[in-house]
Amino acid sequence: MTITNGRDLTPVLDRVDRTLEASLERLFAFLRIPSISAQPAHAGDCRRAAEWLCAELAGIGLDASVRETPGHPMVVAHDRGAAEGPHVLFYGHYDVQPVDPLDLWHSAPFEPQLVRDGDGERIVARGASDDKGQVMTFVEALRALRAEFGTLPLRVSMVIEGEEESGGANLLPFLQANRDELHADVALICDTGMLEGGVPAITTALRGMVGEEVVIRGADRDLHSGIYGNAARNPLEVLCRILGAVRDPATGRVLLQGFYDGVQDPPEAVRAQWRAIAPSDAGFLGPVGLSVPAGEQGYSAVEQTWCRPTFEINGISGGYAGDGFKTVLPAEASAKISFRLVSGQDPARIRDAFRAHVRAMLPADCTVRFTPHG
Amino acid sequence: MTITNGRDLTPVLDRVDRTLEASLERLFAFLRIPSISAQPAHAGDCRRAAEWLCAELAGIGLDASVRETPGHPMVVAHDRGAAEGPHVLFYGHYDVQPVDPLDLWHSAPFEPQLVRDGDGERIVARGASDDKGQVMTFVEALRALRAEFGTLPLRVSMVIEGEEESGGANLLPFLQANRDELHADVALICDTGMLEGGVPAITTALRGMVGEEVVIRGADRDLHSGIYGNAARNPLEVLCRILGAVRDPATGRVLLQGFYDGVQDPPEAVRAQWRAIAPSDAGFLGPVGLSVPAGEQGYSAVEQTWCRPTFEINGISGGYAGDGFKTVLPAEASAKISFRLVSGQDPARIRDAFRAHVRAMLPADCTVRFTPHG
């Protein structure tokens, strides 16, 4: 018998099992909406996802609304529940990442599939595990609880944003503007994963992100590398030199001024717990074809990703990338880079340190543009 | 009066002026064929360009044929002329470079335009100056000479290839296989430019090229940089570090083992001639928005491009390059790079030295693929 707040949960769990087919159909409908927040062409799809979710929440009796922001809208919902219980604020997001390169997908990203393989049955679709699946798990739990019990033993509010994958610039202003409405005793973020299939996890800290696009410009037009090569500054080469110098290849440490200021290691007791429950380097990296932790020496793969800040290059483009070859010396080269930050780091100072690093290495005749992305 | 081999050229030049309109129409027809040799989708257009040119040459009385190769065909033509004269072999190419990014064109690349600006009238189209314009100048000269004189005072053969912009792998084997037919006293290459509008040039040496595509692979799939960043090797960062280390930023010299073996400076007398006729650094770089020669210290911009070998990055791609941001840690990163070589360098050794440099800097868990492009 499973108990919550003195009540027997068995009928709720039975209902969840009994109605699984309908729950899956709802999740699949949600997954079919291509709510790619980073791509302006999908702005209408983002709104459609918000409206779909709002209608679902209203349908199970919550006080739900789509709320405007300067970007994609928020979905806010309240279940007043027991007046005296604690107030839980649930956070999730309805937007998803872009899907290219499409040729690496085995099925269409917005046509959800149930795939059975060695690990059991999985749902394959863009957003299934980040974050529509998690959001709908919570929604279906609310639906079953309300169907069996009528009211909840606590108050629940939900904020589901549409810009988690594109910087989330409007989340903090929205929370601040609606401070009284959303004030809660506990915030529950379910945009996280499990340790492995069958091993649930309670995530107690998340890394933050500073994203940046950097564009290096040399000549005022694309040049022929046979005519200008050597004498004309090549922005791709400049970009490589600058980005290749952010990290010390020997130690794996990020070399930006003050990057590790305020960063502390977790207590040894926590590190010991992690060693007991978390995958080994081989267990973490092996499944994706790797073996050696690439980050700071002295930290395991799990420590490098759970508690250490890092620098990543997320994309580079410039010059010719099509079939064959083109002897172009491009006018511009651009990169999207990001930092994952941990407690104690100041995102604004990290961004400034990166920009200072770029400017310090910029040779004559080059200019640089920065665009922040979260 | 202009004399050639004892004959008055005036009627030929008059005819050229009189028939300029028709000559331009023929050039424009040639320019309208999108013979992009690097892109397989344009293979049919390359053949069409070859057949068009062959028909033109046959039409003015040359013994012309389209000749197969393992790639795009060659056009070969002979004008037997005076049996006792010298034999001149003319080389050109009918293929052109890719046209992207299309949004930087002011008119459609395969719809030739006559544009009048501060420098006079120019023909704007892909291939107008490389190399269809030069080829048709020679063809129209032959047409006018034959129309006025009946025969030429020397023997002329032409080899017009279709792979100059995509490596030209079939040219040397073709010349070797047809050695007797094409043996000549003088080879005339008109795939070159003028010093500036109104200042013709005789080009006495050209740099060669080694092109290479390099693909660095890390994990066996694209990863989420929030989950794997730091611990998983980032191929974009590896690529930056490797390509950023090919050249010494302080001296501008290429650091590959043996890169300058066999390279000699031109005689001081030639350098002095160049100083007298060639543009200054400001004159060479200023028109494209640059000011400082980026290559080896101690050489002018003109020397860096006319007689010094170099390394260029012609394109990089990997990760996400679309709108907004995607926190991807890509499985692969690729670059197209090229070396411009001068007399004394061995292309095979340069390619080997580059590959050795890449392999020496490749960290654990990474693999590399190379594809030669000319």
Task: Give me the pLDDT at residue A202, please.
Answer: 84
Report which secondary-structure segment, H or E, holds A317.
strand A310-319
Q: Which of B203, B230, B345 to mutate to test the interface with A (most CBs of A within 10 A)?
A: B230
Chain B residue numbers with beta carbons less than 8 Å from the beta carbon of A213 are 325
**Inter-chain CB proximity B326 and A291 less than 8 Å:** no
**Inter-chain CB proximity A324 and B209 less than 8 Å:** no
Shortest Cα distance, chain A CAs vs residue B271, angstroms: 16
Q: Give the pLDDT mean for B193-207.
A: 82
Beta bridge partners of B209: B340
Q: In this complex, which of A233, A246, A326 lies closest to B290 when CB atoms are compared? A: A233
CA atoms within 13 A on the CB side of A284: 25
Q: What pLDDT, in 10s, does the model give residues B22-55?
A: 999 999 999 999 999 999 999 999 999 999 999 9
| Confidence bin at A268 (pLDDT 50/70/90) | very high
**Inter-chain CB proximity A294 and B213 less than 8 Å:** no
Shortest Cα distance, chain A CAs vs residue B138, angstroms: 23
ipTM of the complex: 0.75
- Which CATH code fits B3-189? 3.40.630.10
Distances (CA, A) of A312 to B230, B240, B262: 7, 12, 41
Residue B57 token pair: 């040459």
Task: Give me the pLDDT at residue B103, please.
Answer: 84
Q: What pLDDT, in 10s, does the model give residues B92-129?
A: 999 999 998 888 899 999 999 999 887 788 999 999 99
Q: What pLDDT, in 10s, does the model give residues B219-243?
A: 999 999 989 999 999 999 999 999 9
Q: In terms of C-beta density within 10 A (0-12 exposed, 13-18 middle, 19 or more buried), how is residue A267 classed? A: exposed
Q: Where are the domains of chain A?
A: 3-189, 208-263+309-372
- If we measure between CA atoms, which residue out of A204, A184, A182, A174 comes closest to residue A192? A204
Task: Give me the pLDDT at residue B4, please.
Answer: 65
**Inter-chain CB proximity A223 and B288 less than 8 Å:** yes
**Inter-chain CB proximity B230 and A308 less than 8 Å:** yes
Query: How many degrees, rounded to 5, is the angle at CA B261 between CA B255 and CA B262?
Result: 145
**Inter-chain CB proximity B291 and A365 less than 8 Å:** yes
Task: Give me the pLDDT at residue B262, please.
Answer: 96
**Inter-chain CB proximity A365 and B294 less than 8 Å:** yes
Tell me the pLDDT of chain B averaged across its residues: 94
- Which CATH code fits A208-263+309-372? 3.30.70.360
Check: CB of residue B246 under 8 Å from CB of residue B256: yes
Check: CB of residue B46 under 8 Å from CB of residue B95: yes
The pairing of strands B208-217 and B310-319 is unpaired
Torsion from C-alpha of A267, A270, A272, A278, nearest 10 degrees: -140
Please state the separation of Cα B125 from the chain's center in Å: 16
| Contact map slice: B 54-83 vs A, CB within 8 A | none
